[in-house]
Structure 1
Amino acid sequence: MQFPESWLREFCNPPLDTQALANTLTMAGLEVEDLRPVASRFSKVVVGEILEALQHPNADRLRVCRVDAGQGSPLSIVCGAPNARAGIKVPCALVGAELPPGEDGKPFLIKVGKLRGVESFGMLCSARELQLGEANEGLLELAADAPVGTDIRSWLSLDDTLFTLKLTPNLAHCLSVHGVARELAALTGTPLKALQFPSVKVVHDQQVPVQVLAPDLCGRFSGRVVRGVNPRAATPAWMVDRLARCGQRSVSPLVDISNYVMFELGQPSHIFDLDKLRGGLCVRWGQAGEQLRLLNGNTVALDEKVGVIADEAQVESLAGIMGGDATAVSDATTNIYIEAAFWYPGAVAGRSRRFNFSTEAGHRFERGVDPGRTVEYLERVTALVLEICGGEAGPVTDLQSNLPVARPVTLRAARAAKVIGMPLTLKQCADALTALGLPVALGEGALTVTPPSWRFDLSLEEDLIEEVARMVGYENLPTTPPLAPITPRLRAESQRSPYAVRRALAALGYQETINFSFVEERWERELAGNDRPIQLLNPIASHMSVMRSSLLGSLLQVLKFNLDRKASRVRVFECGRVFLRNASVPNSDTTVQGFDQPMRLAGAVHGTADVLQWGRPEATVDFFDVKGDVEALLAPALPVFEPCEHPALHPGRCARVLLEGNAIGHIGELHPRWRQAYGFSQAPVLFELELSAVLQRRIPVPRPVEKQQDVERDIAVVVAESVTHAQVQSAARAAAVGGVLRDITLFDVYRPKPGKTESATSTLAEGEKSLALRLVLNGGDAALDESRIDAAVRAVLAALADQVGARLRS
């Protein structure tokens, strides 16, 4: 909300400078977001009257003006403005004046100059030259009653400051200048100017019949007829200026008056062209199929959830938001109907957003306006209409169909002191609330407040405690350290933190990315095989309409974003939450019943395996590079990788990751179909793991250093092509070798080249491969002799032959 400081001080003028006043409001919860002067600094600019404007003898577009600037004798000033003419009053910058700086940031000084041979003793100014507006077509014309020679800053009240408040939704009573002044009076003890609403003289008895058919929509409806108005009358300059300083453009006198009272008192109103209404008015909910063309030119479709004001023929206004175009006032209007109503906040909230626009009226009504003073505010609007546009007023129609009932709220002084954190007496609490204009009834150790009609936010004891804290001043609250036994939460040694996992991936060359949890529905269907994703009721964008059940879609989007910007090597990961349907999940503080929200860890790699270097040739990253990263991440645990299928991954280059027999995720290349759809030059390698499994780690167990040296033996076995390395290792480790086998390492794989005929002595048949294994043996305290070594090797070979059908290669 924006308003000028001078308007606020008309209602309450405490002995504080501008900055102190802003600090006072901010520390009371009315955050002053911005302070801005109304006009830039300039000096020696006065009101001047052009007495004569003659054509310049040497220039077609220039005029030589004789200007009375209150300097004793007229000044000769050369001016090129098209509207420079005798009889008007304009800003006149005298010699020595300093105008606002231009684009170079330096002030513009006015000196005696000579234009095309004619001396000029000053400058006549446009609004843009004084930085009072964007208009630059001609001189800024002032009111005819502007005193010649008066300083422009004084005459136009330019030594003023614009306050911009950032109000929380519970401070609806401060959405007006008078509302802010009421708070300021309570904070500073400065008297608040009393509002006077004298009833205007009723000249005729014409009324518009009104029916309120929806009491849950409209609690009070007040209105009156004013006949014989002049809509072509000029809006007073003081009103235009104040509206402009509130960020509101002047439209017409009737519309300006309605807006002015809204900013002044917080009560929106609407003015109908009476002659365009057909019959009486009906306040009701809309009906399916109805339409309304609004003042902003939009045509909206209505239904039973939207409140309207209708006459006997059609809908004429969107209740509490905007009037209709059919009954809008115009230059031809002579008779009007002024309406001021109380609309329930719940009946207005969200409707503007539904139609993709917002209004000042809707902003106030959906937070709550004062239902107790609609008639007084109507008198204020009527008085301004009669003063500016003339006319004859009729009697007020006031229908009180369903006024909200104020419920008393009790505040305990002990509770307030405990919550605020400082000693408070019951009297201090009562004084703070009384200063805010709240009726207080004292009791034993407690007080009761019956909220006035303009305080919709007071319904709980905590609301009153907040008001007391605001009046005490947040800056005056003591800094009291908490007194409580603190027990550090020590993480189990068998579990590492997510930050440690992040650091481990960063050490492997990955960069972390953070993405939205709501994604495109297409991603869920294509990449996660999820045909029934969790839909969002109110998505922030149409393409982010479901909750993700996998992190892969988000990572692929990040990958594409970087590759489209010519990144040659991308390694990214994300640690985030996914959302799954699970009827067995109970309701708790951290999850919603029927929905599981586990944490996942996922990564995506594209480009070369290493950064550019001279020591080894460039190689494109492949499945085994990322498999090594996953093994390093899970170390010292030994994961098992088994072939599987995944909707996002290549059918023949995808593996399920098992840890101690439990599936914890997947790893593989992107499916060719999705690689082509995303336009990747090579297939990215992806992995996704359950974070809970990654966080687990084995506790190191001390083991004495072996006293004997290791013994190594190499063997080559022939197995079927379908046998995996994991199966070979499992079989070898299960061999009964007397506890001397320490490690087994695969160091070579041999397959016959396709299409090449093997020699007659070759031991490999079609569909077979040769695996070279290195066995590391150690007898512990006892040295190994050849017999024990040979027995261990034979046991390994026997186990391989029995479990995977391996034979020793000759």
Structure 2
Amino acid sequence: MQFPESWLREYCNPELTTQELADLLTMSGMEVEELQPVAPPFTGIVVAEILTADQHPNADKLRVCTVGAGPFSKDGPLQIVCGAPNARAGIKIPLATVGAVLPPGEDGKPFKIGKGKLRGVESFGMLCSARELKIADDHGGLLELPADAPVGTDIREYLNLDDTLFTLKLTPNLGHGLSVYGIAREVSALTGAPLKALAAAPVLPTLDDTVAVRVEASDLCGRFSGRIVRGIDTTAKTPQWMVDRLARCGQRPVSALVDISNYVMFETGQPSHIFDLDKIHGGLVVRWGREGESLKLLNGNTITVDGQVGVIADEAEGGAQTVESLAGIMGGDATAVGDDTRNVYVEAAFWWPDAVAGRGRRFNFSTDAGHRYERGVDPAQTVARIERITQLILEICGGEATACGPVTDVQPNLPARAPVALRVARAAKVIGMPVTQAQCAEVFRRLGLDFVEAEGVLTVTPPSWRFDLEIEEDLIEEVIRVIGFDKLPLSAPLAPVSARVRPEAQRGSHALRRAAAALDYQETINFSFVEARWEAELAGNAEPIRLLNPIAAPLSVMRSSLIGSLVQVLRHNLSRRATRVRVFELGRVFRRDASVQTSEQTVVGIDQPLKLAGLAWGPVEPLQWGAKERTVDFFDVKADVEALLAPRVATFVAAEHPAMHPGRCARVELDGQVIGFVGELHPRWKQGYELPAGQGAPVLFELDVPALLQRPVPAYQPVARQQAVNRDIALIVGEAAGHDAVIGSLLAADTGGLLRSARLFDVYRPAPGAAGFQPGERSLAIRLELLDDEAPLTDERSDAAVRAAIEAARQAVGARLRGE
């Protein structure tokens, strides 16, 4: 919200400096983001009038002007050479007299005006454009002033350039601060300075003409007010004072009618719309849109509406309806006012915030009107705002033939404001300092809140313009911000702190992040809302949880997997020529689950588990001299997963995943439970997401965080007094027998507890037809570790244990000892 300080002080003028006023607003919750002077410093520039403008004798593009500047031209008109295309006799312009100092240029130094000579003709000053004064970007010629501008007046005084622009950064609950008068009301409450009332004199109707209005959707529109005004002159020029105020609010002037509507919006916070009456067919109908209806907007875009968007349609005699406006957001082109407009219909309404919120973003634009309606506009003042707009139309665009009709006011569903009780004792406890009932009552009186007092309790009925007062805490906040946050005592908190001891068998999520970072992965944080395509293709989720009001059209669903986010991070890095990417994310995913009930940490029907996902692409190691460059593969990332789970040992079983290569994917099992997946990205998605074709595919993993947080409590054992015995065996097995099956069969053998471990250290695949091998067989070299804690192992006991292990492998996977 941007506005000039002078406009604010017209309604409330406390005895505060500009900086003190800014600090007061910031401390009250209306953060002043920026203070900016309307014009930079300059001196010696006055209002002047060009008396004559003759062609320069030695230059085609220069004119020799005689200029009257009042007291500054006591010895006669000043001769000034000017090259502006609009320099002509009879206009009033800014004149920089000899000795004047102009605003600093690009070099940062101020420019001083002196006597000069251009092409042989002397010049005693300089005629200025708005750009040269740095009050506008227009450089098309001299800044032309109104004909009644007093000659000789300092231009800073005449244009009110000693003003300051306030830019407020308002939170969404402060809709009442989106107008100059609304801020003035806050300043009055904060300082006690008197508040000047808005001009509210009703305009007496001189016609009986009205437009029939029917509100079919009371959940869309709570109040609809309008009035006909006939015989206006739309070519009338907007007064300079209004143009200046709009410009200082960041609004470009358009035409008199549009400027009036915008002016009242910035003044009071009430958006409005002015229809060309002659382009309305019959009456108006306020309703929700219908599938297939289209509307060409004032910005030139043609949109298609549906049942989620409110519209204003006109209704011809036959009942046919045509959409003419997007309710609360933007008007339509078909009924827009133009230079040939003579009769208008002025509309001001109360649109329910929930019915407007997010609708503009669906069509990739936002408007000042929609911004205000989303936060709540005072429903009690629509008629008063119609009167104000009518008054300005009659003053600026009116003539002898101008006449207006009565205000029609349809009120199908005005918001009811429930009373809110404030307990003084609780307010003192929450604020942290003593407050009395009298203090609270005084705050509410200054804020214009109606309340009823009882012993220790004040019951407030929120006014129509305050949509943010709903619970007791809202009233407590009002009390302390009006009293002043600077009045709070500087005392240390006294709340007891009790440590939450984490079980020894569990580590924290930060330890998990550090473990992933130690494996050379960098953490990323991504939005929980993603593209629907990611869910369908990378998570296999055909019905994700959809957002009712997405921040952007593509980010329309909640993610049920972190993989899509990591693939997008990879694409982002590759577009910036990254040669090696290793990233991870620890975050929540969102899935439908009817068994979940609402609690402090859950929402009914939605499961929100924590996941850890990682992605590796490119070389295994950063560029170095000590090792040959190699692209990361499945087994590198599998080793990372094992390191994250250590000392717990997981089982990897071949599986399929929507995002992963069907032959290079495994599910991760821990104690018989599936806790995640690891594998290469599917070639289809590598191509579909435009990843480099000539390099390896990224390898990904996604794991359940609760399983990763569990750590077994160490069980210490004494060092063995006996020496272990290692025996190497070579088993011939078929290709179908996996590593885990072979090792598991050996460890399951009945060896009397002597076999402590079995490790594969070599694989031999013979050439076709090799002696001792059947087709499809290979040799596995395995080292067995045997140990007895109580007695030394003899050869006989060791041999018996090895034979038992080999027999168990023979029974389980059909293994046989090589050489038999």
Q: Is the TM-score greater than 0.5?
A: yes
The DSSP-based 3-state class of the residue aligned with 1:666 is strand
Partner of 2:774: 765
Partner of 2:716: 702
Partner of 1:239: 242
| Code of the aligned partner of 2:368 | E
Partner of 1:97: 100
Partner of 2:526: 515
Whole-angstrom distance in 1 between the partners of 2:305 and 2:536: 35
1:588 Cα offset (Å)? 3.2
Whole-angstrom distance in 1 between the partners of 2:125 and 2:594: 82
Q: Is the 8 A contact 2:226 2:346 kept in 1?
A: yes
Match of 1:569 among 563, 580, 602: 580
Match of 2:647 among 608, 612, 636: 636
| Code of the aligned partner of 1:188 | T
Seen in structure 2, the aligned counterparts of structure 1 residues 598 and 747 have a Cα distance that, compared at 3 Å, is same
2:806 is equivalent to residue 803 of structure 1: no
Whole-angstrom distance in 1 between the partners of 2:580 and 2:267: 61
Whole-angstrom distance in 2 between the partners of 1:164 and 1:451: 27
Match of 1:617 among 621, 628, 647: 628
User: What per-residue deviation string (whole Å, max 9, x for no partner) do you get for residues 171-193 of structure 1?
Assistant: 33332212211111111111112
User: What per-residue deviation string (whole Å, max 9, x for no partner) do you get for residues 389-409 of structure 1?
Assistant: 333544633536445555443
2:189 is equivalent to residue 178 of structure 1: no
Match of 2:371 among 363, 367, 378: 363
Partner of 1:285: 287
| Code of the aligned partner of 1:160 | D
Whole-angstrom distance in 2 between the partners of 1:544 and 1:139: 49
Partner of 1:124: 127
Match of 1:310 among 304, 311, 314: 314
The DSSP-based 3-state class of the residue aligned with 2:101 is strand
Q: Is the 8 A contact 1:421 1:480 kept in 2?
A: no
Whole-angstrom distance in 2 between the partners of 1:199 and 1:241: 26
2:333 is equivalent to residue 331 of structure 1: no
Match of 2:261 among 244, 258, 280: 258
1:241 Cα offset (Å)? 0.7
Seen in structure 2, the aligned counterparts of structure 1 residues 781 and 162 have a Cα distance that, compared at 3 Å, is same
Partner of 1:714: 728
Q: Is the 8 A contact 2:586 2:611 kept in 1?
A: yes
| Code of the aligned partner of 1:10 | E
| Code of the aligned partner of 1:489 | R
User: What per-residue deviation string (whole Å, max 9, x for no partner) do you get for residues 35-87 of structure 1?
Assistant: 11111222222222222222222222112222233322333322111111222
2:31 is equivalent to residue 31 of structure 1: yes
| Higher alpha-carbon deviation: 170-179 or 612-621 | 612-621
2:173 is equivalent to residue 164 of structure 1: no
User: What per-residue deviation string (whole Å, max 9, x for no partner) do you get for residues 213-245 of structure 1?
Assistant: 448355555554544433333222111111111
Q: Is the 8 A contact 1:339 1:378 kept in 2?
A: yes
2:137 is equivalent to residue 134 of structure 1: yes
Seen in structure 2, the aligned counterparts of structure 1 residues 763 and 48 have a Cα distance that, compared at 3 Å, is same
Identity %: 63
Seen in structure 2, the aligned counterparts of structure 1 residues 52 and 426 have a Cα distance that, compared at 3 Å, is same
Seen in structure 2, the aligned counterparts of structure 1 residues 283 and 771 have a Cα distance that, compared at 3 Å, is closer
Whole-angstrom distance in 2 between the partners of 1:606 and 1:169: 42
Match of 1:434 among 441, 445, 453: 445
The DSSP-based 3-state class of the residue aligned with 2:406 is strand
Partner of 1:399: 409
Match of 2:457 among 432, 438, 446: 446
Partner of 2:761: 747
Seen in structure 2, the aligned counterparts of structure 1 residues 349 and 720 have a Cα distance that, compared at 3 Å, is closer
Partner of 2:699: 685
| Code of the aligned partner of 2:807 | A
User: What per-residue deviation string (whole Å, max 9, x for no partner) do you get for residues 503-538 of structure 1?
Assistant: 222222222233333344444444444444444444
Whole-angstrom distance in 2 between the partners of 1:693 and 1:799: 32
User: What per-residue deviation string (whole Å, max 9, x for no partner) do you get for residues 558-610 of structure 1?
Assistant: 33443454433332223232333433334433333333332222223233333
Whole-angstrom distance in 1 between the partners of 2:153 and 2:802: 111
User: What per-residue deviation string (whole Å, max 9, x for no partner) do you get for residues 643-662 of structure 1?
Assistant: 33334333433333222232
Whole-angstrom distance in 1 between the partners of 2:265 and 2:697: 62
Whole-angstrom distance in 2 between the partners of 1:302 and 1:614: 62
The DSSP-based 3-state class of the residue aligned with 1:399 is strand
Match of 1:774 among 779, 783, 788: 783
Q: Is the 8 A contact 1:222 1:396 kept in 2?
A: no
1:9 Cα offset (Å)? 0.7
Seen in structure 2, the aligned counterparts of structure 1 residues 685 and 275 have a Cα distance that, compared at 3 Å, is closer
1:622 Cα offset (Å)? 2.9
Matches within 5 A, 1:445-484: 445-479=456-490, 481-484=492-495
Q: Is the 8 A contact 1:711 1:777 kept in 2?
A: yes
| Code of the aligned partner of 2:58 | N
Partner of 1:112: 115
Seen in structure 2, the aligned counterparts of structure 1 residues 586 and 441 have a Cα distance that, compared at 3 Å, is closer
1:548 Cα offset (Å)? 3.3
TM-score by length of 2: 0.90
| Code of the aligned partner of 2:310 | V
Whole-angstrom distance in 2 between the partners of 1:695 and 1:730: 26
Seen in structure 2, the aligned counterparts of structure 1 residues 311 and 248 have a Cα distance that, compared at 3 Å, is farther
Seen in structure 2, the aligned counterparts of structure 1 residues 687 and 122 have a Cα distance that, compared at 3 Å, is same
2:382 is equivalent to residue 380 of structure 1: no
Whole-angstrom distance in 1 between the partners of 2:602 and 2:534: 24
Seen in structure 2, the aligned counterparts of structure 1 residues 140 and 593 have a Cα distance that, compared at 3 Å, is same
Whole-angstrom distance in 2 between the partners of 1:265 and 1:521: 42
Whole-angstrom distance in 1 between the partners of 2:173 and 2:325: 27
Seen in structure 2, the aligned counterparts of structure 1 residues 168 and 631 have a Cα distance that, compared at 3 Å, is closer
1:208 Cα offset (Å)? 1.9
1:14 Cα offset (Å)? 0.8
Partner of 1:733: 747
Q: Is the 8 A contact 1:310 1:317 kept in 2?
A: no
Seen in structure 2, the aligned counterparts of structure 1 residues 783 and 301 have a Cα distance that, compared at 3 Å, is closer
Whole-angstrom distance in 1 between the partners of 2:299 and 2:153: 41
Q: Is the 8 A contact 2:208 2:406 kept in 1?
A: no
Q: What is the CA RMSD across the aligned residues, in angstroms?
A: 3.0
| Misfit runs of 4+, over 6 Å | none
Partner of 1:151: 154
Seen in structure 2, the aligned counterparts of structure 1 residues 608 and 320 have a Cα distance that, compared at 3 Å, is closer
Whole-angstrom distance in 2 between the partners of 1:423 and 1:479: 14
1:347 Cα offset (Å)? 5.0
Partner of 2:558: 547
| Higher alpha-carbon deviation: 534-543 or 721-730 | 534-543
The DSSP-based 3-state class of the residue aligned with 1:396 is coil
Whole-angstrom distance in 2 between the partners of 1:269 and 1:343: 11
Partner of 2:497: 486
Q: How many residues align?
A: 803
1:703 Cα offset (Å)? 1.8
Q: Is the 8 A contact 2:213 2:410 kept in 1?
A: no
Seen in structure 2, the aligned counterparts of structure 1 residues 432 and 479 have a Cα distance that, compared at 3 Å, is same
Seen in structure 2, the aligned counterparts of structure 1 residues 577 and 617 have a Cα distance that, compared at 3 Å, is same
